[in-house]
Amino acid sequence: MMPMVLVTGGAGFIGCHVCKALLARGYRVRVLDLLVEQVHRGALPVGLPAAAEFIKGDVRDENTLARALRGVDFVIHLAAEVGVGQSMYQIDRYVSVNDLGTAMLFQQMLERPVARVVVASSMSVYGEGLYRGADGENVEDAERESGMWDPLDARGRPLVPIATPEWKRPALASVYALTKFVQERLTLNVCAAYGIEAVALRLFNTYGSGQALSNPYTGVLAIFASRLLNGKAPLVFEDGEQRRDFVHVSDVAEAFVTALEHPRAAGNVYNIGSGESRSILDVAAALAAAMGRDIAPEITGQARAGDIRHCFADISKAERELGFVPRKNFGEGLAELAQWVAQQEAVDRADQARRELEMRGLVA
């Protein structure tokens, strides 16, 4: 009999794709998910495979966890509240679900140990990405001065953003980033103490079909798609020149399965991205074109608390050690996303989310 994998948060956007990849590889799959209203509107997603056993429940409930872990061989831990902006004013919710939920999972796992755990960490733990200074040195602790978009060195000279590797020191700029780093460290530290193998994947901006288009705190491409679908301009913060790494969800799903299986992965942290950087402004325009919408992005000129300027992935470690190679190029991925979005309905809540931030002084 093939091993059983528990996927916490398995009814989420990434979780559905991970479940499909696991089932395609012959694993048995069990999903634990609370189906929170903000993401799921109370319903199971269409993308969750019928072959996956489903348990509705809270990752913070010990009885539910005990039931979910029964007979499980591996765990992929995706359950988390997601959203940098929202985390800055729903602090208790984010810390409770992300960190207490992870602690509760491992508390139950002490009595029901598994062979390996793979946890979803985040590029947000880096804060600002890695930069190179005018003298050629690497700069890990770049900071923006008030009123400046791009970080400068101590002498006021521009810093050049470069791909961020795993060895770059964390700089936890938001509550969300803090909770993801705690999830990552809890997984690696507790598992090592109890002889359970553990892997942490630092995911960069994941996109693709199945994102919650009506959730204004999800990935930026889904937020832009929701705006465009409703005939509105994508809201681009700052000047739009901030750079990110966009990786297709199918590549992310394969990375999770690889991290579950590869002998060398145990005890390690890996960046999972495309290895390419794009400006947010270019991405907004490209998505509008893919969706056939002649709508220019609206540049707000505002900065949100907890946001960073540039961060994109150095994926050489995952390539070298795991053989991870992103297969979906950005043009193909956007076309696929646009085709899926055209068949959906979305309630645009981006303005509401922006007002929530403004009311609390988190946008300037």
CATH code (residue 204): 3.40.50.720
Characterize the bridge pairing of strands 131-132 and 138-139: antiparallel
Burial classification of residue 209, based on how many CB atoms lie within 10 Å of its CB (0-12 exposed, 13-18 middle, 19 or more buried): buried
Q: Say if residue 356's pLDDT is above 90.
A: no
Torsion over CA: 134, 131, 275, 277 (sign): negative
> What pLDDT is attached to residue 214?
74
Structural domain that includes position 276 = 4-129+164-359
pLDDT digits (tens, 9 = 90+) for 34-68: 988 777 676 777 789 999 999 999 999 999 999 99
Of 203-217, 263-277, 316-330, least confident by mean pLDDT is: 203-217
Q: Confirm whether 364 is domain-assigned.
A: no
327-334: long-range pairs with CB below 8 Å, 24+: 327/250, 327/251, 327/254, 328/248, 328/250, 328/251, 330/246, 330/274, 330/276, 330/278, 330/286, 333/207, 333/208, 333/246, 333/248, 334/286, 334/287, 334/290
pLDDT of 192 reads 96
Q: What is the mean pLDDT of the chain?
A: 92
In the block, residue with structure tokens 């091993």: 3
For 240, half-sphere exposure in the C-beta direction (CA atoms, 13 angstrom radius) is 14
313 vs 311: CA distance, rounded Å: 7
What is the reported pLDDT for 158? 92
Judge whether 12 and 222 are in contact, CB under 8 Å. no
| Confidence class for position 302, pLDDT limits 50, 70, 90 | confident
Tell me if 294 is assigned to some domain: yes
176 is catalytic: yes
How much is the pLDDT for 362? Answer: 65
**In the beta sheet, which residues pair with residue 132?**
138, 160
Return d(Cα 177, Cα 170) in angstroms, integer.
9
Q: Is 334 left (phi over 0), alpha (psi -120 to 50) or beta?
A: alpha
| pLDDT tier for residue 211 given thresholds of 50, 70 and 90 | confident
pLDDT at 92 > cutoff 90: yes
Specify the pLDDT at position 248: 97
Number of folded domains that form the chain: 1
Residue 271 predicted with pLDDT over 90: yes
Which of 75, 316, 352 minimizes the C-alpha distance to 232?
352
Query: Mean per-residue pLDDT for 309-321?
Result: 97
Residue 142 belongs to a domain: no
In the predicted model, is pLDDT for residue 350 greater than 80? no
Q: Of the given ranges (3-12, 57-66, 252-261, 338-347), which has the lowest mean pLDDT?
A: 338-347
Q: pTM of this prediction?
A: 0.95
Q: Tens digit of pLDDT for each residue in 222-236?
A: 889 989 989 999 999
Q: Which of 131, 176, 207, 217 is catalytic?
A: 176
Residue with tokens 């074109």: 289
Distance, CA of 101 to CA of 65 (rounded, Å) = 10
Q: pLDDT tier at 266 (50, 70, 90 boundaries)?
A: very high
* pLDDT score for 353: 65
Least confident piece of the model among 107-111, 115-119, 300-304 = 300-304
311 occurs within a structural domain: yes
Q: Do the domain assignments include residue 147?
A: no
Whether 347 has a pLDDT exceeding 90, the answer reads no
Give residue 185's pLDDT band: very low, low, confident or very high (50, 70, 90). Answer: very high
- Report pLDDT for 219: 79
Q: Is residue 35 part of a domain?
A: yes
Strand partners, 244: 278
Predicted pLDDT of residue 344: 84
Give the type of residue at 347: V
Quote the pLDDT of residue 164. Answer: 98
Q: Where are the extended beta strands (E) located within 156-312?
A: 160-161, 197-203, 205-207, 235-236, 243-244, 246-248, 268-272, 278-279, 298-299
The answer to whether 297 touches 289, Cβ cutoff 8 Å, is: no
Structural domain contains residue 308: yes
Query: In 10 A of CB 78, how many CB atoms?
Result: 25
Task: Please tell me which residue, 357 or 144, carries the higher pLDDT value.
Answer: 144
- Phi and psi at 141, nearest 5°, equal -120, 40
260 falls within a domain:
yes
Confidence of residue 19 (pLDDT cuts 50, 70, 90): very high
